[in-house]
């Protein structure tokens, strides 16, 4: 499958044509879902993982366990999406992968990396002749499978190569080139801060209803709010779905997170920009780890719905909270 992309340069339009092939490093929940999304849309997918993943192979994904075969299976300029946790593992994988690539290849970081780490990585790879894009990705596992939201930072040369595939994998209207290197991950970071504020507001609403003098049916109320209300949204739908599957008293009130919104608070202090709602949502998340409360249970239920985030404490996620950001504020 071949697609063309047109860009205006001094009033002259140049058509850039690239083969629709995608390499994905990391075939976990997000990477695996993105791979199946790409296959459904006729894109050749080569996935690199430490596991064989026969479930993906039987659906047409070429799964390999070493970088040499991974690179050989893709035509140049290669377009590679890293589906990895933020932190040192991104640099480790880049160090292992780059020797097998060719100058002009594009590497996209689809995780929630600190945007200043992305600026550094882009500079380092550009000096070696590679394109690096910080590809903020939203929509959770369902979005990766059916149509994600991409907010992508990076220089136009790399964007021109990767844009056709990203638009193909995105939901309708769900692709945006945000600007210079780092801007994609900054926009995604702010997105996550807004998400925290929305989650907290819904959670507090649940606490108010649970503490009222009325015997309220939360599942029916959230179903009602999903139809025509001002606050109708995917989060409201996830709350309804979660309540069908689990009673709220069964949900641990300890809310785990990977810590990236904490970076946003530091950024706001540095820029002297007041963000009271997002700041308080982070404080309430901390509170969830000290006492049981219905608002935290509601947040945990929705977070599990959109990202399969764990219920209760999780050692792996807690570790990522400490290691995800490498660069200084």
Q: Which of 188, 240, 256, 267 is catalytic?
A: 188
Tell me, yes or no, if 195 is annotated catalytic: yes
Tell me, yes or no, if 188 is annotated catalytic: yes
Contact 153, 180 (CB under 8 A): yes
Contact 186, 152 (CB under 8 A): no
DSSP element (H, E) containing 113: none
What residues does 45 pair with on adjacent strands? Answer: 22
Region of 171 please: left (phi>0), alpha (psi -120 to 50) or beta. beta
Contact 47, 23 (CB under 8 A): yes
Three-state DSSP state, 149: strand
Q: Which of 21, 122, 163, 195 is catalytic?
A: 195
| Distance separating alpha carbons of residues 159 and 264, to the nearest angstrom | 26
Cα dist from 174 to 19, 149, 170, 321, whole Å: 21, 4, 5, 27
| Distance separating alpha carbons of residues 314 and 300, to the nearest angstrom | 13
Task: Output the CA torsion 327→68→45→81 (10° steps).
Answer: 10
Residues recognised as catalytic: 188, 195
């Amino acid at each position: 499958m071949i697609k063309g992309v047109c860009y205006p340069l001094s009033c002259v339009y140049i058509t850039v044509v690239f083969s629709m092939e995608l390499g994905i490093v990391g075939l976990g929940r997000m990477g695996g879902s993105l791979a199946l999304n790409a296959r459904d849309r006729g894109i050749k997918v080569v996935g690199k993982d430490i596991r064989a993943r026969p479930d993906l192979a039987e659906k047409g994904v070429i799964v390999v366990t070493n970088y040499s075969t991974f690179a050989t299976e893709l035509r140049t300029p290669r377009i590679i999406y890293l589906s990895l946790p933020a932190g040192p593992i991104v640099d480790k994988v880049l160090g292992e992968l780059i020797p097998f690539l060719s100058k002009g290849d594009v590497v996209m970081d689809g995780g929630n990396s600190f945007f200043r780490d992305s600026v550094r990585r882009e500079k380092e790879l550009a000096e070696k002749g590679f394109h690096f894009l910080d590809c903020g990705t939203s929509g959770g596992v369902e979005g990766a499978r059916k149509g994600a939201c991409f907010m992508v930072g990076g220089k136009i040369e790399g964007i021109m190569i990767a844009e056709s595939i990203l638009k193909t994998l995105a939901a309708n209207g769900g692709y945006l080139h945000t600007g210079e290197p780092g801007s994609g991950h900054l926009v995604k970071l702010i997105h996550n801060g807004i998400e925290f504020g929305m989650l907290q507001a819904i959670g507090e609403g649940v606490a108010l209803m649970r503490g009222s003098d009325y015997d309220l049916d939360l599942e029916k109320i959230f179903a009602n709010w999903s139809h025509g209300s001002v606050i109708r949204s995917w989060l409201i739908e996830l709350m309804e779905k979660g309540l069908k599957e689990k009673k709220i008293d069964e949900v641990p009130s300890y809310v785990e997170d990977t810590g990236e919104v904490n970076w946003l608070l530091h950024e706001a202090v540095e820029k002297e920009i007041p963000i009271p709602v997002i700041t308080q949502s982070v404080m309430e998340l901390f509170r969830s780890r000290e006492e049981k409360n219905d608002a935290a249970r509601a947040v945990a239920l929705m977070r599990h719905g959109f990202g399969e985030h764990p219920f209760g404490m999780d050692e792996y996620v807690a570790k990522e909270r400490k290691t995800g950001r490498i660069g200084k504020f």
